[in-house]
Amino acid sequence: MIGKRPRRAKAPAPLSEEEVALFRQAVADVRPLRGLNRIRQTPQRPWPEPRPLALDEQVETVDGLSDNIPWYDNLDSGAELVFRRPGLNRQTLRRLRSGHWVIEAQLDLHGYTSDEARLQLAEFLNQCKKRGLRCVRIIHGKGLCSKNKEPVLKIKVRNWLMQREEVLAFCQASPADGGGGAALVLLKASA
């Protein structure tokens, strides 16, 4: 209970004369060790315990992705969006487009609301990071069934991907891999 002091252990009962005599008889032949051959032993420090990953993932999943899309109004609904981190050469983006990396996993966001899709994407990227995956496909759809036939998830997914540190680059998938309804994502190599 909080606020209560722990009870003190009761002091052991004093030994009787008979018990003391028995103890002295048991240790009568014992001689003290000489101090020359002693080894000083230092206690081993316990291994540090890492924070549980689940807590890290929850914080990243819930708070990590914003819906603020500063360039959303200037976008044409059919425009292809590409992204590469500053410092990454253009050749990397060309390789991603041409299928240089094998797609190791995919996430299909069809049928999810915007909030559900954000959580699914964050969880998927966390799993990809754990597994050390490099190239993944995110299927967001073309938005043909949404209001005004405009792609909502297409724009949001690309914005969310830009916010994730492990995402190096992404581009629209080839027609065989989903075309305008999917994105190929290149992730950082695990260290």
Q: How far apart are alpha carbons 176 and 156 in whole angstroms?
A: 23
Q: Which domains does the chain have, with CATH numbers?
A: 53-65+81-187 (3.30.1370.110)
pLDDT at 167: 93
pLDDT at 66: 59
pLDDT at 101: 92
Report the chain's terminal Cα–Cα distance, integer Å: 45
Full-model pTM: 0.60
Contact 171, 184 (CB under 8 A): yes
pLDDT in tens, 113-163: 888 999 999 999 999 999 999 999 999 888 776 666 677 888 889 899 999
Lowest mean pLDDT among 16-20, 84-88, 167-171, 175-179: 175-179
Contact 140, 178 (CB under 8 A): no
C-alpha dihedral sign at 67, 72, 78, 83 = negative
Band (pLDDT 50/70/90 cuts) for residue 3 is low
Query: Percentage of residues in the chain with pLDDT exceeding 70?
Result: 72
Of the two residues 81 and 14, the one the predictor is more confident about is 14
Band (pLDDT 50/70/90 cuts) for residue 72 is very low
